[in-house]
Amino acid sequence: MTLFARLKDAAGSDWTDYAEHEFVRRLGAGTLPEAAFRRYLVQDYLFLIQFARANALGVYKSRTLPDMRAAQASLSAILDTELRLHERICARWGLDPQALDREPEARETIAYTRFVLDCGAAGDLLALQVALSPCVVGYAEIGRALAPRGIDAIAPDHPYREWIADYAGAEYGAVAEAARGRLDALALRFMPEARFDELAASFAAACRMERDFWQMGLDAAGD
């Protein structure tokens, strides 16, 4: 059993409240109000900037070149790929890329990102990766759950088809798989069994903040 699977089990309803949130269900069903998705997109852009900082912290905290290169790959993936992808998607949703940087961070964005950054700054690489994992690995699991028969089974005019395709796809799946493996490798070096409960508490708290993040999107639709 992977560490990620153990953390999910221990989180119980904190995990399912996040992974099966109404925002997710309606996104999958194509009934999510556009205003909710738009709010989510803008905040997710600001979120990614902080996540890039968290991955830079991972490079700094590393002691070996392989650890450094693994964290740097995540950092580059965000700064060079994901943020530009986001700017493109945002543009298609009528969100001026220029305007994104001026948007204030929502409290839900601040709460989760600063929580992760503090886990990383005060703790070790494992504490950092555990706090990141509901997002990094969770999105792949959520994406796959929304496309159980593959992305081709989703109607071409589904309004959120592109988002689902990204996170259900093989490329992101490989990112998540690497993150699962990294958690297990770090646990061998830094987690005696006595430490599990502390990490599980941090994981559950991160799941609750991810749930709040979806809710922030829904709240913007005012229904």
CB of 49 to a copy of itself, least distance (A): 7
> Of the candidates 77, 38, 32, which has an alpha carbon nearest to the alpha carbon of residue 54?
77
Rounded CA-CA distance 8/203 in Å is: 8
Rule CB under 8 A: say whether 127 interacts with a copy of itself. yes
Q: Could you say which of 121, 145, 178, 221 contacts a copy of itself (CB under 8 A)? A: 121
Residues with a catalytic annotation lie at 135, 210
Q: What angle do CA 134, 23, 210 make, to 5 degrees?
A: 25
Rule CB under 8 A: say whether 114 interacts with a copy of itself. yes
CB of 65 to a copy of itself, least distance (A): 7
Rounded CA-CA distance 40/52 in Å is: 18
Q: Could you say which of 107, 150, 174, 184 contacts a copy of itself (CB under 8 A)? A: 107
> Of the candidates 76, 221, 28, 212, which has an alpha carbon nearest to the alpha carbon of residue 135?
212
Q: Could you say which of 1, 153, 170, 188 contacts a copy of itself (CB under 8 A)? A: 188
For residue 63, give the DSSP letter.
-
- Per-residue contact flags (x/-) with a copy of itself for residues 128 to 167, judged by CB under 8 A: ----------------------------------------
Q: Could you say which of 20, 22, 103, 105 contacts a copy of itself (CB under 8 A)? A: 105
Paired tokens of 217:
């999107």
Residue 96 CB contacts under 8 Å (≥ 6 apart), including other chains = 90
Q: Which spans in 101-149 are helix H?
A: 107-122, 125-136, 138-146
Rule CB under 8 A: say whether 93 interacts with a copy of itself. no
Residue type, 108: E
Contact residues for a copy of itself, defined by CB under 8 A: 49, 52-54, 56-63, 65, 68-69, 71-72, 75-76, 79, 83, 101, 104-105, 107-108, 110-111, 114-115, 117-118, 121-124, 127, 188-192, 194-195, 198, 205, 208-209, 212
